[in-house]
Amino acid sequence: MSELDDYELLDFGDGRRLERFGNYIIDRPCPTATCEPHDTALWQSADTSYKLGQRESGAWKPPRKLPDCWNVSFKSLTLELRLTERGQLGVFPEQKWNWGWIGRQVARAGGGMNVLNLFAHTGASTLAAAAAGARVTHVDSSRSSVSWARRNAKHSGLEGAPIRWIVDDVPQFVCRELRRQNHYDAVILDPPSFGRGPDGETWKLTDQLIGLLDRCAELTASRAAFYLLTCHTSGIGSAEISAYLSSLLGSCQAGVAAEGLRLTSRDGRRLSCGVAARWGSRES
């Protein structure tokens, strides 16, 4: 699992990224694309562009109509894409290396482990773990995102996989799991900078992540097989995210590997898309 078969980063620059998702070319904002575009003529081929308006809201401006949804393939996974009101499409291709890593961690453990996926979005990490044989608890505060993830499971032939689909505020769910004395073998987290739970609960990464990680450590006490923490918050780099995960792992922290999430464009340039920290008990 190393390539997103239906994806290509065509160009980036001037605060935007030009990407091909299946048969469609999408132009959308990208704050980390601070360089000059490589091929300005190529941008005229975009099927739609997301333009920011006031107060960070925006709209898609399609030269021609796109379908309401379409699918892209990542090895055995099939993921549904839609143009959302916030300029997203429902898949984060910079995570493709993590999907492969998750599958390898589950396979090395012989499958059958219990994986907790927090801030699970539209479910690609959930499906990568399930496809490798894990039992997964998928938690996100957005009902529409969880429904989208369930459709992705069906598209990928995993509708019968042992996945619990949970719509809940992540910190509150984790606290309840501790009271229930439930335990997990691995945790995946992709927290937003800011967010709201289904009942208006607020989340701020810089204030709440450390406490959440501490509780996750309790959920995996003495049985942790792997952890994956990714972050797209401005000002948090590889050193910071490595420190976050190391604080959770204690004596195992020497095994933490942190690096930037990047995509490589058609002309070979690399676009920064966040950071990831990983730890696996079976890493060589």
**Range 146-175 average pLDDT:** 97
Number of structural domains (the chain) is 2
Same domain, 110 and 246: yes
Same domain, 259 and 120: yes
Nearest-10 Cα torsion for 133, 136, 142, 148: 20
In angstroms, rounded to a whole number, what is the distance separating the alpha carbons of residues 280 and 227? 7
Same domain, 247 and 187: yes
CATH (domain of 130) = 3.40.50.150
* Average pLDDT of the residues of the chain: 91
Give the residue from 35, 57, 81 where a domain finishes.
81
- The pLDDT score that the predictor gives to residue 56 is 64
Same domain, 242 and 126: yes
Same domain, 73 and 208: no
Same domain, 134 and 249: yes
Q: What b/e sequence results for 214-245 when a residue is b if at least 16 CB atoms lie within 10 Å of its CB, and e otherwise?
A: eebbebbeeebbbbbbbbbbeebebeebbebb
Establish if 247 belongs to a structural domain: yes
SS3 145: helix
Same domain, 74 and 97: no
Establish if 62 belongs to a structural domain: yes
Establish if 102 belongs to a structural domain: yes
Same domain, 104 and 168: yes
One-letter amino acid at 78 equals: T
Q: Give residue-wise pLDDT tens across range 60-103.
A: 998 678 999 999 998 889 999 999 998 999 999 999 999 999 99
Same domain, 114 and 230: yes
Same domain, 159 and 212: yes
Establish if 160 belongs to a structural domain: yes
Q: Is the Cβ–Cβ distance between 151 and 222 less than 8 Å?
A: no
CA angle 126, 132, 134 (to 5 degrees): 60
Q: How many other CB atoms sit within 10 Å of the CB of residue 66?
A: 17
CATH (domain of 60) = 2.60.40.1180
Establish if 192 belongs to a structural domain: yes
Q: What b/e sequence results for 171-188 when a residue is b if at least 16 CB atoms lie within 10 Å of its CB, and e otherwise?
A: bebbeebeeeeebbbbbb
Give the containing element (helix H, strand E) for 127: helix 124-131
Give the residue from 81, 105, 137 where a domain finishes.
81
Establish if 151 belongs to a structural domain: yes
**Range 1-13 average pLDDT:** 77
In angstroms, rounded to a whole number, what is the distance separating the alpha carbons of residues 52 and 50? 7
Establish if 88 belongs to a structural domain: no
Name, in order, each residue with C-beta under 8 angstroms of 254's C-beta and a sequence gap of 6 or more.
none
**Phi and psi angles of residue 272, each rounded to the nearest 5 degrees, phi first:** -75, 135
253 has pLDDT over 60: no
Q: Which domain, by its residues, includes 26?
A: 7-81
In angstroms, rounded to a whole number, what is the distance separating the alpha carbons of residues 39 and 56? 27
pLDDT band at residue 2, thresholds of 50, 70 and 90? very low
- Interaxial angle between packed helices 205-219 and 238-249, expressed in degrees from 0 to 180 and rounded to the nearest 10: 30
Give the residue from 22, 50, 81 where a domain finishes.
81
Same domain, 47 and 21: yes
Q: Give residue-wise pLDDT tens across range 34-45.
A: 999 999 999 999
Same domain, 76 and 162: no
The structure's pTM equals: 0.92
How much of the chain exceeds pLDDT 90, in percent? Answer: 70
- The pLDDT score that the predictor gives to residue 252 is 56
One-letter amino acid at 272 equals: S
SS3 49: strand
